[in-house]
Amino acid sequence: MGQNHTNQQMMPNKLTDHMVTGAEFSLIWEQSIKAYKTEPRPKDLSPFYDHPDYISHNEKATGLMAGVYRLVRNYNIRLKLNWLKSARPPGGNLLDYGCGTGDFLSAAKKKNWNSFGVEVNKQARVFAQEKGLTIYPNQEEIASLTYDAITLWHVLEHLENPTNMCRWFKDQLSSKGVLIVAVPNYRSWDAKFYKQYWAAYDVPRHLWHFSKQSIDALFGKDFELIQTHPMWFDAIYVSLLSERYKKNRGNMLRGIIVGIWSNLCAVFTKEPSSMAYVLKKRY
């Protein structure tokens, strides 16, 4: 109860969809997985993704934030491939769940991974398929393969039922298969600084809001945590976007300073703005 009470004290009461609708949402604590869920949940989320600022689905987005996003993305792709290699999966079949426009998968394919993706957004899926990738519109249509590695780069927070998906990932992985999950961390310094303006809440597109404790609660039974990797540039990108959401009260320079300061704090607190968790399937 103490941890729950502490969490509720630090979380904002109401959050706004700053990107598309301006609608308000609440965060509700889910004790079973030690995470917050977004309420109410729209019956149809697709209109909330239909916006030029949702860059991970739109390769043609322009402007400063799109340029910053692509610089960070290209740097992170190299890091992700190194993390994947260092996890030593038992084979070369890779599934990127929620692959967006396929940039990570395309880079992995060039490194001789047998690359497959799942992407529900039609526009993003078309961009990925134009790169010569095998992309499925949903998990039901995935070929009857087992995968040696499954990656979710800022995708788990979008999924309706993370508990059910944890079981599905376990079933799809080969023996000693590797699961890599990257999610925002609501316990980071930048999240506490920006509060309701923190861009990584991203309601209602983010249905869930995680911390390190959430990952342990979700995956600890079936997976062993073998590595963690802070995603340092995410703090700066998220802080810049948070400053935009504050409108007249925000500015670009402060966003950069906040992101850097959050990273410095994370060196000591081990609570970065975003974290990638490398998990190995238990026997």
How far, in Å, are 57, 121, 147 from residue 50 at the CA level? Answer: 9, 10, 31
pLDDT for 1 beyond 50? no
What is the value of pTM for the model shown?
Answer: 0.90
Q: What pLDDT score does 210 carry?
A: 98
The amino acid that residue 9 corresponds to is Q
What's the mean pLDDT when you consider all of the chain? 89
Which tens digit of pLDDT belongs to each residue from 57-116?
445 555 555 666 667 778 889 999 999 999 999 999 999 999 999 999 999 999 999 999
CA dist 211 and 223 (Å) reads: 17
For the chain, report the end-to-end CA distance as a whole number of angstroms: 33
Taking the C-alpha atoms of residue 73 and residue 190, their distance in angstroms, rounded to an integer, is 20
Strands 93-97 and 147-153: parallel
- Domain 34-186+200-233+274-281: give its CATH superfamily: Vaccinia Virus protein VP39 (3.40.50.150)
Read off the tokens for 42.
């729209």
Q: pLDDT digit string (tens) for 122-154? A: 888 999 999 999 999 998 888 778 999 999 999
Share of the chain above pLDDT 70, in %: 89
The conformation of residue 103, written as its DSSP 8-state character, comes to: H
pLDDT digits (tens, 9 = 90+) for 157-174: 999 999 999 999 999 999
- Kindly tell me the sign of the dihedral angle through the C-alpha atoms of 250, 251, 256, 257: negative
In tens, the pLDDT along 233-247 reads 999 989 999 999 988
Interatomic CA distance for residues 179 and 223, integer angstroms = 8
pLDDT at residue number 3: 47
pLDDT beyond 90 at 10? no
Name the residue ranges covered by the structural domains of the chain.
34-186+200-233+274-281
Tokens standing for residue 209 = 């809001």
